[in-house]
Amino acid sequence: MTCRPLTSGISPGKQLAVIVVFLLCSGQLALAGARQSDPLPSWKNSETKTAILQFVQSVTDVQSPDYVPEPERITVFDNDGTLWPENPLPFQLAFSLDELKRRYPDEPQWKDDSFVQDAIAENLPALLANHYEGIFHLIELVASGLTTTEFADRVRSWLSTAEHPRFKLPYDQLAYQPMLEMLAYFRAHGFKTFIVSGGGADFMRVFAERVYGIPPEQVVGSNTRVIYEMRDGTPVLIKTMKDLFVDDGSGKPAGIHQFIGRRPIACFGNSDGDQAMLQYTTINNPRPSLGVIIHHTDAAREYAYDKTPKSTGKLVSALAQAPQRGWLVVDMKHDWLTVFAP
């Protein structure tokens, strides 16, 4: 069907016919436009982008030998450094340090806690030592004893007042625009998008649905036990420091199994902490699979780091394995036309 401009000087009946043809044509044009429009406008048209688009096309094309039925289209995204920054500190650590300082005068028992003293003295290397033992201790400490509702309220309150020291914006306005497009693109193709992060599940669930479109039940993170009780006739769940599960490194495939129960076919990460889940997603997976590493190469617009990060996010071993494993490496500086939403 070809489209012609609306013509004058014809009978009313013919005019109506022309209008109908015109409307049909516009509809077709709009459809064709939607079909051809770029689902990832903040991504440069590079080989990496093409490879991601081709993967999604091939696993969702029912005629393709690589077709994967919709229920198996599980895709997992690390959070810190993959969906939003992790500098100068992972945002949950910034929250926990702010909480610690705010409450310190009212918590005399914290005075004998050496990690608390490191925190007050802003001795970050001490806190980051021993596979983040200090970080997790503080993160648990400021949550422990609160009900899950109280904890969520504190996170919400912090997000509404705290500001990122460099970008001077609320933390939850710093999601990476290219990754928001990626999440939407995968979901539009029948994928379920999950966060699988070293961050606390209860922390991320406060904003994940609003910011990323990821509902609480698709947020997998570090956690400790909660205890159920009735308090003044209302059911509450109390956060404790018991049975810490660290959803990082080899904890990520374990967390994926425990919370999702099947292997993902696509995985996005940015550090060696994501290497195990990249492996679990891509090595000898009976389904076609995709592994993507976001490499922070953009000191001007965001940060540049791999071997010697400021805080978390070391990327050495996973980067070295990438070529052999076929993992795509995104060069943030060159592959992302935009970093943050305007």
Interface ranges with a copy of itself (CB under 8 A): 71, 74, 148, 192, 194, 201-202, 205, 209, 215-219, 223, 225-230, 233-235, 237, 243, 245, 250-254, 257-262, 276, 279-280, 283-284
Residues 6+ apart with CB under 8 A from 172: 159, 207, 210, 211
Q: How far apart are the first and last CA of the chain?
A: 39
Q: How far is the CB of 201 from a copy of itself (least distance, A)?
A: 7
CB of 239 or CB of 296, closer to a copy of itself: 239
Comparing CB distances to a copy of itself, the nearer of 5 and 233 is 233
Alpha helices of 104-204 — where are they, by DSSP H? Answer: 114-120, 124-141, 148-161, 177-188, 201-204
Considering the complex, what minimum distance in angstroms separates the CB of residue 253 from a copy of itself?
4
- What six digits make up the tokens of 124? 């970050």
Looking at the Cβ atoms of 173 and 240, the one nearer to a copy of itself is: 240
- Least separation in angstroms between residue 235's CB and a copy of itself is 5
Q: How far is the CB of 136 from a copy of itself (least distance, A)?
A: 16
Residue 246 half-sphere exposure, CB side, CA atoms within 13 Å? 14
The C-alpha atoms of residue 56 and residue 293 are separated, in whole angstroms, by 17
CB of 213 to a copy of itself, least distance (A): 10
DSSP 8-class letter at 108? G
**With respect to a copy of itself, which residue has the nearer C-beta, 1 or 230?**
230
* Cα distances (Å, whole numbers) of residue 114 to 111, 145, 235: 8, 20, 35
Shortest distance in whole angstroms from residue 209 CB to a copy of itself? 7
Cβ proximity to a copy of itself: between 182 and 195 the closer is 195
- State the angle between helix axes of 275-282 and 251-259 in degrees (0 to 180), rounded to the nearest 10: 60
**Looking at beta carbons only, is 94 or 238 nearer to a copy of itself?**
238
